[in-house]
Amino acid sequence: MTAEPVTGAWRIGDPPGRRKFVTGPGALALEAGGVLPGYTLAYETWGSLNSDASNAILVEHALTGDSHAAGPPVPGHPSAGWWDGLIGPGKALDTTEFFVVVPNVLGGCQGSTGPSSPDPDGQPWGSRFPVVTVRDQVTTEAVLADFLGISRWAAVVGGSMGGMRALEWAVSLPSRVATVLVLASTARASAEQIAWAAPQLHAIRADPDWRGGDYYSASSGPFRGLGIARRIAHVTYRSEPELDQRFGRSYQGDEDPLRGGRFAVESYLDHHAEKLSGRFDANSYLVLTESMNTHDVGRDRGGVAAALGRVTARAVIGGVDSDRLYPLYQSAEIAAGIEGTAEPSVVSSPYGHDSFLIETDQIAALVKALLG
């Protein structure tokens, strides 16, 4: 993939589309010891908040997701909402009944404060952006809830990295969460998950155009490294049987691998690498991946079991039978630790980890079970 100018949907000054913004009340002291002197969260909403603010649902996006969870493409978001099949009138998250809120995560690049955002002097944070954790991200989302007048969510819902934040909400702020749905996620990152992330982080940092994280004024950014990271990640998002059935050993068109051409599965990974490199900031990919690596609800709380014992929300936990990145045993660990929670619901699908984005009917059933 050839290098391109640093122009992506994450760039400062993008049209806001449906996004709204909330600014934090002051400096944010971070779990790892750093400080953000200020921050902004971008968010989108669907539906209307009722008179007693009891119908609000928080939806948490995954690693490269954003606030645009529903609806058609809009300025700043060239794709339709990533959970469009679940959010809207008459859908599982029925916006004639519920007020659905979707923030862009702290550290991201779709309107919320992250490495590409300006520091107090107006320069992009770049390499100076501090370490943020899932707990820090939830802290800022609580500020958003306060701003919207929501003292308690009717539900907090999320998959993958979004599931980490949903679970952290239920653990750290139990009185503010009535129900929680955690999909294809974990109570703490495993050694294998951290290991899969490691070459992705190295790929970005090894790109000469990364420039130590300070590339925003340069003519090109670390698109090659980000593309390699996406290729590695995407293999873990799908299942081996699906890739084999879908691509096998087919060539890409008339390309011949014996003569420098690509297999079809290589072209598939190239496509996803190019898509991400055009809409996502490499530094945000680093920051958010490392926040996932450090995710552990049991840290400084006496371990995972003690932390899960703090949850008072009615919980539905879902896992995917073909997920090789967040295997079912991790969903079972969460379910077993939350009092009164049934065994994890199993989403049966050939699509692996991405099933929480693809299997709309099965996820809708879990949402309906959650909301009663």
Residues marked active site are found at 160, 323, 353
Neighbour count for residue 229 (Cβ, 10 Å): 27
SS3 percent helix, strand, coil of the chain, rounded to 5, is 40, 15, 45
Residue 180: enclosing H or E segment and its boundaries?
Answer: strand 179-183
> What is 76-103 written as a DSSP string?
TB-S--TTTTTEETTSSEETTT-EEEEE
Tokens describing residue 154? 């009717």
Strands 28-29 and 35-36: antiparallel
What is the 8-class DSSP label of residue 105?
Answer: P
d(CA 342, CA 335): 6
Query: Can you read off the two tokens belonging to residue 138?
Result: 């939830």
Residue 23: DSSP 8-state: E
Q: Are 301 and 217 in contact (CB under 8 A)?
A: no
Contact yes or no for 301/118 (Cβ under 8 A): no
Q: What does each C-alpha distance from 182 to 34, 42, 169, 216 come to in angstroms? A: 29, 22, 11, 36
Bridging pattern class, strands 56-60 and 28-29: unpaired
